[in-house]
Chains A and B, each alone.
Chain A
């Protein structure tokens, strides 16, 4: 069975999972776990909350697999659930994302070590991302990180395609500005 499920398309796995096939559901979880966690983390900016939201999303997807239209790609359908779960969780806990992560790029010394530098860079990226409006954040992550098309993201976010293009553009520009500032500072302290 494991050989067959690994070769199956998402839609086939979804049908089997809806029919109660645990292995098919497990395969879908394995395929989309990393992506779902990244999307949730980009919205919640917290690893534990992101995992909780991603898990809730998978369980919600299992519950509503009967409503999934097999003629459409599974990824955007699932990512919509993930994004909604994460946004709901964020609202519930009254996340102070922007306040928590207001970047003070001069307050931390990344140190000379390359690994430390990479960690610091990742941290700055997440902070920069968290400063974006939530919809822009989702659009940039789904487009530039997860590789979804503008049309698919429009379905995920339930907005017009043109809005997605605009969000991706403005989100990228804001990220670039913040990262350039951080890189410039890194060059100065070296």
Chain B
């Protein structure tokens, strides 16, 4: 005998009930639903798939940013120094000071990307 607090399905009732309720020709039913859905697929509001995928991507992007930040912090700890925004910016600033715009324009070799970005950012 079961109690109201049972957490398990009662197979003595469930199995024959399943058999009694199961209907035949499932493939035909699936085909019928798919055919009906064709109309709906044509009516799906434009842009809906962007919003759905966007909402799905957001948690992933947040997680990726978190992992990247943790990795950066861990790398800094491994090197014996904790990287700060200032310490990240310093090498760029120093490079920018060494390469002023006129000097950079007169240079024959291709400039470093970091230097170009630093100049563009106003360092």
Contact = CB atoms under 8 A, between A and B. Distances in A.
Contacts of B6: 168-169
Interface in B5-40: 5-7, 9-11, 13-14, 16-23, 26, 29-30, 32-34, 36-38, 40
Contact of A26 (B11, B21, B34, B40): B34
Interface SS, B side: helix
Interface in A114-138: 121-123, 125-126, 129
> Contact size class for A?
35 or more
B21 A33 contact: no
Contacts of B20: 121-123, 125-126, 129
Interface in A46-70: 47, 50-51, 54-55, 58-59, 62-63, 65-66, 70
Interface string A15-56: 100111010011001100110011001100001001100110
Given A144-B9, A147-B9, A169-B2, A54 B29 contact: yes
A38 B13 contact: no
Given A55-B33, A66-B48, A145 B21 contact: yes
A127 to B, nearest CB: 10
Interface in A79-124: 121-123
For the side of the interface on B, what is the size category?
35 or more
A13 interface: no
Contacts of B79: none
B21 A38 contact: yes
A54 B22 CA distance: 13
Contact of B17 (A18, A66, A125): A125
Interface centre among B26, B30, B37, B41 (most CB of A within 10 A): B37
A156 to B, nearest CB: 15
B13 to A, nearest CB: 5
B52 interface: yes
Contacts of A29: 30, 33-34, 37
B10 A55 contact: no
Given A15-B53, A19-B52, A172-B2, A150 B33 contact: no
A166 to B, nearest CB: 6
Given A25-B37, A51-B23, 19 more contacts: A18-B52, A22-B38, A29-B37, A38-B23, A42-B21, A51-B32, A55-B29, A59-B33, A59-B36, A125-B17, A129-B20, A143-B9, A144-B9, A144-B10, A144-B11, A145-B18, A145-B21, A150-B7, A166-B4
Interface of B: 2-7, 9-11, 13-14, 16-23, 26, 29-30, 32-34, 36-38, 40-41, 44, 48-49, 51-53, 56
Interface of A: 15, 18-20, 22, 25-26, 29-30, 33-34, 37-38, 41-42, 47, 50-51, 54-55, 58-59, 62-63, 65-66, 70, 121-123, 125-126, 129, 140-141, 143-145, 147, 149-150, 165-166, 168-169, 172, 175-176
